[in-house]
Amino acid sequence: MASDDRMSVGADLDTRVEAAPGWLFWPLTVLGAAVAGVGVYGMWRHQAPASSTCACVRC
């Protein structure tokens, strides 16, 4: 009986894991795009000052 319970819990977890990419895809995509956008903007922004020290130290 205990093994049957484990099997059903395992199947339930498998179903949840398979369903996860569907609802995780868009938030992760938006978050990744935001992080990439901030990174690109930061790199572009810090190319302007030409100093001997790294511009990122002042961020």
pLDDT at res. 40: 87
Q: Are 39 and 59 in contact (CB under 8 A)?
A: no
pLDDT at res. 20: 58
Angle made by CA atoms 38, 43, 47, in degrees to the nearest 5: 145
Q: Whole-model pTM above 0.85?
A: no
* % of the chain beyond a pLDDT of 90: 12
